[in-house]
Chain A
Amino acid sequence: MVGRTALRSESKHGSASDLVANLIRKRDFYAGGLMILFGLVMALKGPSYRLGTLMHMGPGFLPTVLGVILIGLGIAIACTALAAGEGEDEDILPENPEWFAWGCILVSPLAFMLFGSYGGLAPATFACVFVAAMGDRSMTWKQAVVLSLIITVFGVGLFHYILQIPMPVLEWRG
């Protein structure tokens, strides 16, 4: 399948600049690129841990080999982007990017870290749930507060009193 579509797409794109412009839109092109990047990091950093010989392998041996393999795979993935037909390119971003929601979900653990380190389990739980909840479009302030309160009470009860996780419920540690 790949081979046949490759022929078709080549005949479609006459000039090289078209090809490049088409490539940049392709998801697999970035996918391959990311793998090549990871592979490069491993293959370049690996030898600094001492390679050793096949018989006495050093700590750098496997990372370097894996890095080289990953670079190869990355190139192969990027090549499939070249070969794929025109209709098959997919945008990396979904139709309506949810930047705000994504941000909320990623900030939520950070809020847990911050409030957990300085305030204790109760504020950390509240902040974590509240921030995450605000990511949903249909969530109202009131609903988010109520949800966070319920989870806080439940969470403190379960994790502090029943499972006895060593984290104070509420304590200011400046």
Chain B
Amino acid sequence: MIGTALTDLWYGFGVALEPHNIVWCFVGVLVGNMVGVLPGMGPLATISILLPLTFGIKPVGAILMLAGVMYGAQYGGAICSILLNLPCHPPHAVTCLDGFPMTKQGRGGAALGATVFASFVGASWGITEMIFLAPVLVRVAMEFGPAEICSLMLLGLLAGSTLARGSPLKGVAMTVLGLMLGIVGTDIETGAERFTFGMTHLDDGIELIALALGLFGIGEFMNSVNQVSTVNAKYAKVGLKDMRPSKEEMKRTIAPMFRGTLIGSLCSLIPGTGPTIASFVAYATEKKISKTPEKFGTGMIEGVVCPEASTHSSVQGDFIPTMSLGIPGDAVMALLLGALMIQGIVPGPQLIKEHPDIFWGLVASFWIGNIMLVILNVPLIGVWVKLLTIPYKYLYSSAMFFVCIGVYAANNDMFQVGETAVIGALGYVLLRLGFHPAPILLGFVLGPRFEENFRRAMLISRGDLGVFVERPISAVFVFLCVLLIGLQIYVRIRGPKKPLVPVLETQGAE
């Protein structure tokens, strides 16, 4: 097994090292890293803005670039939280707790250096996991019939919406709303036009880009306009020389780094628990097993390294269900799957076999991209710090142009620009009402496939709903769904005695 994995990986490096693919990967990580640093711009908005640009390039290059944006943004987010105490992205909220005190003590550079290193270790482990686990999962998933696929999707949707932040009820409501938005347009099987309200522009359904840019672009800008204060960069003076942690700090980071990696990879295996939960759990664990828990929050390097390693390990691990089963764990993964679908590639267990260049090229590019990020982050740290001080007023207004042109360029259709504005307004209303719009994307991407498989399962079983519990694999998934709901209700009724993870205010819609 190791032999075939290594041959495949070798092939993947061949794909990823093709000159144009390297360039796309580099563009991806560079833009991602930059955007991760920019306040108020999330990876979701960036990937959606870049999505139309990928139509012209081959699927491999497109997915390498978009994935690069995603993990590049993770590196950038760490810079933001350590140097400025700004958790630009939710997974980095805990990094602020000890990262910023270190910056105040003048050790910010060391914290960054250790983070870059820990991130690389975490990511490498996640990639290794992907190399070995994904093919195994695929072999299992190849046996799945429509009933199994349906219940697995149900589990994925439930986990993605209830384990994320906020009220589980609201999360599920958002998923259902996403499923509904996925229904809009012409029904593939019968040709009936559903919920188009007489608008021929909606016949092909709601455009993924319009939905993503409306919810995570326009909706987010409306939320942040005039709210983002100019950052205080008085501590953020970090040079190249400061990035090297001291010997003693190095020694202290090793064990937490591996613990964080392990926690992250475990979290990535549970569907729905993305990097945010992984980093919170990692911080809590590190604090618990530390000999000096009272010192946490005053600039302990362990409290920086452990969550960062776990975030990166979990981000890479999230690709496993996405690429091998076609079931995304969070909105970013849903968007990447959507990008593949736009390129005409059907996600699912057959992907690795039919498009080995995409899968193994992606795996290999993770390593190449992560090495690029380490190299980029060290000398460019000064540039990133400068970027941090760009006022939000310039950022969001220029981003509005990229939103408009991106949506237009997708189909050369002005109608969709208006569609995006409407979705954006709706997204902001939902945000104000306490909904997190991320599960909408999950439901939207999975919706059509869910309906198709549900119909097929019902046709095969002659309309007997019992098929979902009679087939053993499907029954396991259904049981897990019930368990998940039961646990949520139990936790609600019993009430958490103390919060599992420190409660922190984070900005952004995931």
Contacts and interface: CB of A to CB of B under 8 A. Distances in A.
B180 A63 contact: yes
B449 to A, nearest CB: 12
Interface stretch (B278-286, B314-322, B326-334, B456-464): B456-464
B237 interface: no
A147 B405 CA distance: 17
Contacts of B249: none
Contacts of B221: 105, 132
A138 B434 CA distance: 28
B231 interface: no
A171 B187 CA distance: 39
Interface stretch (B7-15, B73-81, B252-260, B396-404): B396-404
B462 A55 contact: yes
A98 to B, nearest CB: 5
Contact of A159 (B227, B409, B414, B424): B409
B417 A109 contact: yes
Contacts of A50: 190, 192
B192 A49 contact: yes
A28 B405 contact: no
Contact of B183 (A1, A62, A133): A62
B130 interface: no
Contact of B414 (A58, A105, A106, A113): A113
Interface string B176-198: 11011001000101101011000
Contacts of A110: 417-418, 421
Contact of B451 (A38, A62, A155, A159): A62
Interface residues of B, number: 66
Contacts of A137: 226
B44 to A, nearest CB: 17
Interface string B276-303: 0000000000000000000000000000
Nearest to A130: B397
Contacts of A12: none
Contacts of A54: 458, 463-465
Task: Tell me what chain B mostly uses at the interface: helix, strand, loop, or mixed.
Answer: helix
B433 A80 contact: no
B507 interface: no
B396 to A, nearest CB: 7
A70 B175 CA distance: 10
Nearest to A61: B455
B197 to A, nearest CB: 9
B409 A147 contact: no
B417 A63 contact: no
Contacts of B56: 163
A155 B190 contact: no
27 contacts: A1-B496, A2-B495, A31-B433, A35-B173, A42-B195, A49-B192, A56-B463, A70-B176, A73-B169, A77-B170, A77-B173, A98-B222, A101-B225, A105-B400, A110-B418, A112-B401, A116-B414, A121-B405, A124-B404, A128-B404, A129-B397, A129-B401, A132-B401, A136-B392, A136-B393, A163-B53, A167-B408
9 A-B pairs closest in CB distance = A55-B463, A1-B495, A54-B463, A136-B393, A133-B397, A59-B192, A31-B433, A132-B400, A112-B404
Interface of B: 53, 56, 167, 169-170, 172-173, 176-177, 179-180, 183, 187, 189-190, 192, 194-195, 218, 221-222, 225-227, 391-394, 396-398, 400-401, 403-405, 408-409, 412, 414, 417-418, 420-421, 424-425, 428-430, 432-435, 451, 454-455, 458-459, 462-465, 492-493, 495-496
Given A34-B430, A62-B179, A132-B396, 10 more contacts: A35-B177, A54-B463, A55-B462, A57-B455, A105-B221, A108-B397, A113-B418, A128-B400, A129-B400, A136-B396
